[in-house]
């Protein structure tokens, strides 16, 4: 039965370009440019390693994004399972050949660059689940035979990532996956059961946490308990953001980051730096750009006539939202500090690559999913 596949429109290249979502296109570009300036500021206004490689990466990945955008959405549909298993294999590979840095094994060396498979898993899990659920009818979704595969698909990568250990990414991967499960119509009742069980398992889970992870949670609950140790990051981050005021301290004038009080300013805390220098107005503007991107993705999803595209776009939009929200809430002291980069803004190749690929699939939905074949 061919109904599961999209109709293969033979669109000309010109048509495809015209079908691109230019709003999303420019929003991503805008975010990229903002990230260059932010990165430049982390290096105190010197055009050095981080800024340079961040810019190179952005343009290379942006090019990949454009190229992949023209791929037919059918490709991703067919390729969904394979992609998932390849990345799962890489995740297992990390366990054996991974590179250890700052106490955790997250990267795998691909000679040219180091890849973080867990970042790619964020996207491939969404594709996998979208592929799995798109043809299952609403009534069947909650049946047991249809919950076994997603359950494994969710928890195998989760378990692999959490043992790296990388609690932040693991939770983000799981959250993205669960979003797709939710969207596919999984009964709310079962979700309730699921979360209830999770709550009951919490104490057990806590006993499995590494000491530093426990410390982070305790620190989140009360940063002042160890202001120079575990609580240092969050206290300094709040000071940086709070001292920014309405309009900020001005570009390249963030004393907290300039004087090295701010930790991890290239990666997880880049929003802090941005917020310190551009204040409430700048931060809100950045937040609006992210909101617009999410809006555009949802919009594309809603216009998508097939359920794979819809599920994928909504799933990715939700995941993207979660990445942004978790990162911001983390630096604002609303969530414990877990490793969660801010999409596009943070320094980090794998994260940016996976986000760009995800965008390209969204674009592909826009180009090829405008009608459905039944």
Q: Which stretch binds other proteins (CB under 8 A): 103-111, 195-203, 217-225, 244-252?
A: 244-252
Residue (of 18, 11, 29) closest to 356 by Cα position? 29
30 Cβ neighbours under 8 A, 6+ residues apart: 289
Q: How many residues bind other proteins (CB under 8 A)?
A: 48
- The minimum distance between CB 307 and other proteins, in angstroms, equals 6
Binding span for other proteins by CB under 8 A among 72-80, 120-128, 291-299, 343-351: 291-299
Taking the least distance from each CB to other proteins, the nearer of 159 and 229 is: 229
Site for other proteins in 102-161 (CB under 8 A): 137-138
In the bound state with other proteins, the residue whose beta carbon lies nearer, of 64 and 292, is 292
Give yes or no for residue 318 binding other proteins (CB under 8 A).
Answer: yes
Of the two residues 110 and 246, which places its CB atom closer to other proteins in the complex?
Answer: 246
Binding window for other proteins (CB under 8 A); candidates: 26-34, 272-280, 336-344, 355-363:
272-280
Rule CB under 8 A: say whether 291 interacts with other proteins: yes
Q: Give the C-alpha separation, 171 to 168, whole Å.
A: 5
Instruction: Read off φ and ψ for residue 163, nearest 5 degrees.
Output: -85, 0
**Can you tell me the distance from the alpha carbon of 293 to that of 94, in angstroms, rounded to the nearest whole number?**
32
Q: Which is nearer to other proteins, 105 or 146 (CB)?
A: 146
- Which of 143, 242, 250, 371 touches other proteins by CB under 8 A? 242
Q: Which position among 8, 100, 253, 302 is part of the footprint of other proteins (CB under 8 A)?
A: 302
Q: Does residue 259 touch other proteins according to CB under 8 A?
A: yes
User: Is 20 or 298 the residue whose CB approaches other proteins more closely?
Assistant: 298
> Which CB, 130 or 167, lies closer to other proteins?
130
- Contact flag: residue 294 with other proteins (CB under 8 A): yes
Residues 184-203 that bind other proteins (CB under 8 A): 184-185
Does 246 engage in binding with other proteins (CB under 8 A)? yes
Is residue 269 at the binding interface for other proteins, with CB under 8 A as the rule? no
Told to check if 284 binds other proteins by CB under 8 A, we report yes
Is residue 373 within the footprint of other proteins (CB under 8 A)? Answer: no
Are the C-beta atoms of residues 69 and 368 closer than 8 Å to each other?
no
User: Are residues 73 and 308 in contact, defined by beta-carbon separation less than 8 angstroms?
Assistant: yes
Lookup result for tokens 């981050």:
237
Q: Applying CB under 8 A, does 253 fall inside the site for other proteins?
A: no
177 makes contact with other proteins (CB under 8 A): no
Joined together, the tokens standing for residue 300 give 């594309």
Judged by CB under 8 A, which stretch of 27-35, 51-59, 150-158, 314-322 contacts other proteins? 314-322
Q: Does 42 bind other proteins (CB under 8 A)?
A: no
Identify which range of 6-14, 34-42, 65-73, 233-241 contacts other proteins by CB under 8 A: 233-241
CB of 324 to other proteins, least distance (A): 9
Residues that bind other proteins (CB under 8 A): 3, 137-138, 179, 182-185, 228, 236, 238-246, 255-256, 259-261, 275, 279-280, 283-284, 287, 291, 294, 298, 301-302, 307, 310-311, 314, 318, 321, 325, 328-329, 332, 334, 372, 374
């Amino acid at each position: 039965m061919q109904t599961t596949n999209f109709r293969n429109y033979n669109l000309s290249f010109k048509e495809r370009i015209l079908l691109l979502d230019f709003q999303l296109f420019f929003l991503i570009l805008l975010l990229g440019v903002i990230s260059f300036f932010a990165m430049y500021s982390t290096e105190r206004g010197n055009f050095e390693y981080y800024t340079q490689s961040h810019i190179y990466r952005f343009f290379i990945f942006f090019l990949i994004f454009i190229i992949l955008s023209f791929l037919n959405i059918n490709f991703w549909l067919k390729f969904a399972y394979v992609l998932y298993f390849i990345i799962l294999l890489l995740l297992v590979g990390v366990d054996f050949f991974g590179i250890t840095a700052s106490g955790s094994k997250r990267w795998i060396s691909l000679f040219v660059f180091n890849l973080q498979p867990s970042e790619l898993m964020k996207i491939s899990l969404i594709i996998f689940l979208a592929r799995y659920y798109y043809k299952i009818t609403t009534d069947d979704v909650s049946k047991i035979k249809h919950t076994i595969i997603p359950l494994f698909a969710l928890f195998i990568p989760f378990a692999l990532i959490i043992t790296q250990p990388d609690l932040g990414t693991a939770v983000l991967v799981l959250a993205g996956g669960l979003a797709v499960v939710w969207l596919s119509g999984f009964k709310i009742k079962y979700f309730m059961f699921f979360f209830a069980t999770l709550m009951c398992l919490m104490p057990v889970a806590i006993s499995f946490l590494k000491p530093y992870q426990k410390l982070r949670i305790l620190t989140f609950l009360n940063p002042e308990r160890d202001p120079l140790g575990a609580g240092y990051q969050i206290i300094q981050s709040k000071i940086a953001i709070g001292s920014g005021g309405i309009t900020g301290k001005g570009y390249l004038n963030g004393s907290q980051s300039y004087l090295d009080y701010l930790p991890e300013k290239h990666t997880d805390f880049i929003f802090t730096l941005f917020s310190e220098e551009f204040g409430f107005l700048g931060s809100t503007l950045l937040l609006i750009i992210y909101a617009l991107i999410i809006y555009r993705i949802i919009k594309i999803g809603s216009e998508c006539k097939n359920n794979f595209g819809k599920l994928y776009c909504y799933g990715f939009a939700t995941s993207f939202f979660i990445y942004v929200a978790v990162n911001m809430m983390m630096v604002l002291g609303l969530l414990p500090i877990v490793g969660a980069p801010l999409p596009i803004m943070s320094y980090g190749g794998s994260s940016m690559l996976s986000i760009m690929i995800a965008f390209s699939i969204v674009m592909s939905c826009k180009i090829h999913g405008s009608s459905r074949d039944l």
